[in-house]
Amino acid sequence: MAEPGMAPIDKARFALRRETGDLPEAAAKLAEEIGSTAVEAVVAQANRTAVRRGATAALGSMSPRPAEWYAFDDGDQETTDWYPQGLTGSEDSGSIGVPVFMVSWYFKPAAGERGIRITFLSPRTLRYRHALLVAARPDGGYGPIDIHAGGIACFGDLLYVADTVRGLRVFDLGNLLDLRTAQNDLGDPERVGRHGGKFHAFGYRYIIPQTDHWQVAAAGPRFSFVGLDRTGDTPLLITGEYREGDPLGWVGRWPLDLAGGEPADAFTMGRPKIQGALSQGDTWYLSQAGPSSTTNGKLVVHSGEESRTRPFPIGPEDLTVQGGKLWSVTEFKNKRTVFGVAL
């Protein structure tokens, strides 16, 4: 029996309202004290090395293999504390001067919360570095953000991060802060925030404070992933909902300025376990997880009335387009890659 395809639904229930509050003022205060830097500088100071075509266990039974993939280093492969989720890149941004992928990770342990982080990975050098996303306070302090960060998209300097029950958090990459400009060391690796006149970020050199928030206006809709469609005259921000065993998870597209808060359109996706969604005009790409951490996922492609599936690795997550390829990231231990396939 064929699985149902995508179907349009009422878009009004997915409306967002802007809840900026004092976020930009708090972030600006931190930037004034610490000093901001650029993504290009973070990439130049990368302190970890990815492996081209490593972690082949992530591919499972996939055939043909991806056109290209990069595996995180042994420490990031083996940890059970951090799990990669969201993916975007310099091509989405349009204003970053070097090729780079950005990956969001969430901290899984229930105790000792360390929030969410972003990885800046250079496909040219295979070098990468993590930065901590933080919530700044008007008093000059800051702390970790305890969310899943299941998807990210970047446009210009703005990084949109999915907050499952609250909508979209926004971070300004122009406020990417380097703790080394404010002090000689990186502080206590077990602490975060300002303590004793010093800045701490669990040992990370770079922090990025939140600057805006788009809150879901009605209770119920969940925001699991984020993507960007740049194929039309007006770029569209895409977000939607993962559902474990239900094919009626939703996906919607907003004009990039989010004016009015209501999406331009919304659909049910017709498949369960969708971890990422991306449109290229009228063609949709859905990243579907398998039933376990040892089972391959699928790439679902909807175009018009046609729906088909293509091979995908184990544990596929969020989606982005860069260099003419469709890219995703895989999440499971010892199977963590950023990989690209033909559109």
User: Confidence band (pLDDT; 50, 70, 90) for 1?
Assistant: very low
What integer best gives the mean pLDDT of the chain?
Answer: 95
Q: Residue 134: its pLDDT value, please?
A: 98
pTM greater than 0.85 (yes/no) = yes
Q: Residue 3: its pLDDT value, please?
A: 59
Complete domains list, the chain, with CATH: 7-342 (2.120.10)
Pair of tokens at residue 49:
């090395």
Picking from 318, 251, 321, 317, the residue whose alpha carbon sits closest to that of residue 92 is 321
In the block, which residue shows the tokens 């206590």? 188
| Gap between the Cα atoms of 303 and 289, Å rounded | 20
More confident residue, 185 or 42: 42
- Percent with pLDDT over 70 in the chain: 99
- Percent with pLDDT over 90 in the chain: 91
For 154-176, the pLDDT digits (tens) are 999 999 999 999 999 999 999 99
Burial (Cβ within 10 Å: 0-12, 13-18, ≥19) of residue 18: middle
Q: Residue 4: its pLDDT value, please?
A: 66
**Preceding omega of 311 cis (within 30 degrees of 0):** no
Alpha carbon distances (Å) from 152 to 7, 109, 112, 214, 290: 24, 22, 24, 14, 21
Q: Residue 259: its pLDDT value, please?
A: 84
| Gap between the Cα atoms of 224 and 116, Å rounded | 15
Q: Residue 158: its pLDDT value, please?
A: 98
For 299-312, the pLDDT digits (tens) are 999 998 889 999 99
Q: Residue 111: its pLDDT value, please?
A: 82
In terms of DSSP bridges, do strands 82-89 and 236-240 run parallel, antiparallel, or are they unpaired?
Answer: unpaired
What dihedral angle (degrees, nearest 10) is formed by the CA atoms of 73, 77, 79, 85?
110
**Per-residue pLDDT at 200 exceeds 50:** yes
Q: Which residues contact 188 (CB under 8 A, 6 or more apart)?
A: 195, 200, 203
For 229-267, the pLDDT digits (tens) are 999 999 999 999 999 999 999 999 999 989 889 999 999
For 89-116, the pLDDT digits (tens) are 999 999 999 999 999 999 999 788 999 9
User: Confidence band (pLDDT; 50, 70, 90) for 123?
Assistant: very high
For 57-67, the pLDDT digits (tens) are 999 999 999 99
